[in-house]
Amino acid sequence: MQAIIELAGLKVRFGKQEILKDLTIGLSGRTIGLLGPNGAGKSTLIQTLLGFCPVAAGTATVLGYDIRRQTREVRALVGYMPENDSFIANMSAVSFIRMMGELSGLPADAALERAHEVLFYVGLGEARYRTLGTYSLGMKQMAKLAQALIHGPRLLILDEPTNGLDPSARRRMLRLIRDIRDAGQIHILLCSHLLRDVEETCEEVLILKEGQIVYYSDLVQEHKNNQRFVEIETSGPDRGLAEALVDLGCTCTAQGAGRLKMVVPDHFELRDIFRVAADLDLPLRRLNYRRDTLEDIFLKAMEA
């Protein structure tokens, strides 16, 4: 499968500070989640892909086009929804979206038709003649999504699309993202702090930390092969419980203060944990059986 985004030794510097450090990866999922703490370089990566930031070294391609030499082609195929407020306050939504469509190369009449369509699609049909300055935060987010969709892009870059939304607006936004994904015509790069949003919508996840890739995961595959976990908490120190479980073929990590996290191998009986604890005369305070979530993956990546 052709990579949607391909990075090869990509470095970006602002002055002397290196923001993106030697990123190399190929992303080909329909929806790609971009995660990382503040200052990890997520927004810089997006801006670099759009050709806003100069590349210090390495190369990057988006949909097969080089971001340095073919910036115009890249931008023609990308729809970008920025994180911050970006609109013209005294314009009506429909004329603003139409103007954005025309700037992307749509003829005026087609842009007007598409502007009405996308505004209905994102749920702003009834409010499309209102000026953007009078919109609520949720409506502004939807208008930003509409302007990113007007020209029918092949890659939609969403930077924190659910920022500041109330629960119902957030649900509506995520439903739209899933709907766009399921339509099968657009790839989505979703940058968010909210792991739940990424987990609900993305197939691949890329975690950045201090400008470096610390984790990449195919979430679909991960869910298929998801290992089962057991979190154990003992009363007092674990007194060799971890070692005994490792002897039984489990992978165990001590998390301190009598807390253990173990990966349960196939055909392992959970009652063996109780048996081992009984042999060690070790009271168990808590035993929590669950699968790995994106939050676990994220926290693990951050600790690495």
Partner 1 sequence: MAVYKQTYKGYEGRRTASWSRFLVLTRYSYARLFQSKFLVLFMAVCLFFPVGCAIFVYLSHNSPVLDVLRLRSGAMPEVDGQFFYVYCMVQGTMAFLLTTLVGPSLIAPDLANGAMSLYLSRPFSRTQYVVGKMTVLLALLSLITWVPAALLYLIQVGCVGWSWAQSHAWLAGSILVGLWVWIVILSLIALALSAWVKWKIAAGALILGVFFGGAGFGAAINAILRTRYGSLIDLTQVIHTIWADLFRHSLVVTDLSVEEAWSTLGVSCALCLWLLAKRVRAFEVVK
Interacting residue ranges for partner 1, rule: CB under 8 A: 14-15, 47, 50, 52-53, 72-73, 75-76, 78, 80, 82, 84-91, 95, 99-100, 102-107, 110, 114, 116-117, 120-121, 125, 147, 149-152, 154, 179-180, 183, 185-186
Closer of 109 and 266 to partner 1 (Cβ): 109
Closer of 145 and 242 to partner 1 (Cβ): 145
Q: Measured between alpha carbons, how far is 247 from 178 in angstroms, rounded to an integer?
A: 44
Closer of 111 and 260 to partner 1 (Cβ): 111
Closest distance of CB 39 from partner 1, Å: 12
Residue 268 has phi, psi (to 5 degrees) of: -90, 135
Closest distance of CB 104 from partner 1, Å: 5
Closer of 116 and 193 to partner 1 (Cβ): 116
Helix extents (H) in 122-237: 137-149, 167-183, 195-201, 219-224
User: Collapsing DSSP states into helix, strand and coil, what is residue 204?
Assistant: strand
**Residue 216 falls in which region: left (phi positive, over 0), alpha (psi -120 to 50) or beta:** beta
Closer of 100 and 195 to partner 1 (Cβ): 100
Residues forming beta bridges with residue 157, ordered by sequence position = 80, 189
Q: Measured between alpha carbons, how far is 284 from 293 in angstroms, rounded to an integer?
A: 24
Closest distance of CB 147 from partner 1, Å: 6
User: Collapsing DSSP states into helix, strand and coil, what is residue 69?
Assistant: coil
The length of the chain in residues reads: 304
Structure tokens given for 126:
């009834």
Closest distance of CB 96 from partner 1, Å: 9
Closest distance of CB 71 from partner 1, Å: 8
